[in-house]
Amino acid sequence: MTLLNVDAAIPSQTWAVVRLLTYMGKSIALDEARALLSPPPLRDKETTTKPPFDCAISSLQTLGLVQLDDERKELSLAGRATTLSSSDDLDTYTAILRHAVLDADRNSNLGANNDAAGPRDLTRGLAWFLTHDPMKRPIDVVAAELLLDENDGKDRSLLRAEVLPLFANPTRWLRFNYWAPALGLAAAPLFRAEGRGPLVPDCTLAVKQTVSELWKAGQRINAVEALQVLREHLPVLPGGVHSLALGIPSPGENVAGPALSFALLRGHEEKWLRLEHDDDARHILHVHDPDRPASPRTISDITILEAIHG
């Protein structure tokens, strides 16, 4: 099962299944779960595609978030999903879903070929997408095709030939439109043309949630060390292991790159972190600031200002 395939679920469908199992607080018969989430009057008996409920179960099994007892025909939560409680909201699930998608074992041999098994097709798309600047024009399916065109696409040189094509057809871009924002690694632009599906490489939500997992309010972290840790936990960022596996060059050990820079600057403006500069600091992070594009902003430390819940 691949996540960008037409037979894969979209994130909201997986959330419905996980939410039901969390609410029940126990395993549930597969047929009972099916009846509750897709009662017979809502099913299209003439459809030739896989029912959404079955797509959701398959995708969640691929991500290790549910398990199905084939003998007893019972469904239960698995992996990090078992830590959810009935009081947890979609933001909590977003973080769990992102961990599952970016898991190293599920993305092995990512740059060796374009095998799309598991989340690999989505991971490759995310790593490529996050090389772009959120302050530039949003990317839609047409722009993606032009950037990755086999003849003169300017992004071809960023990627190993073995992993191409990233989006073999428009359907895969449509699926990417659901998954990337659901993982906190993209956002829809404020003015979005109907049916065009453009996205902005805004990873602020993922960075904000990751910061909340790693550090407490009041902590002060060297900015270069913070960059390294964020790349470890969000390996599709430029410089992260998934990005490097695809042949995408790192911006540098002390350079945030446009997408992460945008998220850090948003955090500073929204006051859930503070970017600080110490003239005597030995390690300085260079942040791309659209207000001064010719001269990167230099950051020595990052201070966490508040507890973050999503």
The contacts of residue 99 (CB under 8 Å, 6+ apart) are 80
Are 191 and 197 in contact, with CB atoms under 8 Å apart? no
Give the pLDDT confidence of 30-85 residue by residue, as tens digits.
999 999 998 775 555 555 468 899 999 999 999 999 999 989 999 999 999 999 99
pLDDT at 190: 73
What secondary structure does DSSP assign to 76-105, as a single string? EE-GGGGG--TT--HHHHHHHHHHHHH-TG
**Six-digit token string for 32:** 């009972």
As a whole number of angstroms, the distance between CA 303 and CA 238 comes to 23
Are 187 and 200 in contact, with CB atoms under 8 Å apart? yes
User: Residue 66's beta-bridge partner residues?
Assistant: 77
Question: What is the three-class DSSP state of 200?
Answer: strand
What is the average per-residue pLDDT within 212-222? 96
Are 148 and 127 in contact, with CB atoms under 8 Å apart? no
Can you say whether the dihedral through the CA atoms of 101, 103, 106, 112 is positive or negative? positive
Q: How far is CA 105 from CA 33, 100, 118, in A?
A: 29, 10, 10
Query: CA-based Rg of the chain, rounded to a whole angstrom?
Result: 20
As a whole number of angstroms, the distance between CA 228 and CA 239 comes to 9
Identify the band that residue 196 occupies on the pLDDT scale cut at 50, 70 and 90.
Answer: low
Are 140 and 92 in contact, with CB atoms under 8 Å apart? no
Give the pLDDT confidence of 146-185 residue by residue, as tens digits.
999 987 899 988 999 999 999 988 889 999 999 999 999 9
**Angle at the Cα of 139 from the Cα atoms of 135 and 144, rounded to 5 degrees:** 135
As a whole number of angstroms, the distance between CA 143 and CA 179 comes to 18
**Six-digit token string for 25:** 């607080």
Q: Which of 50-59, 142-151, 185-194, 238-247 has the lowest mean pLDDT?
A: 185-194
The CATH label, of 1.10.10.10, 1.10.3210.10, 3.40.50.300, 3.40.50.10090, for the domain at 11-88 is 1.10.10.10
The contacts of residue 17 (CB under 8 Å, 6+ apart) are 33, 37, 53, 56, 57, 60, 66, 75
CATH 1.10.10.10 in the chain, residues? 11-88
Nearest to 9 by CA among 41, 49, 68, 69: 49
pLDDT at 239: 98
**Six-digit token string for 136:** 């530039």
pLDDT at 194: 46
pTM: 0.94
At 307, give phi and psi (nearest 5°): -70, 135
In the block, residue with structure tokens 């179960």: 57
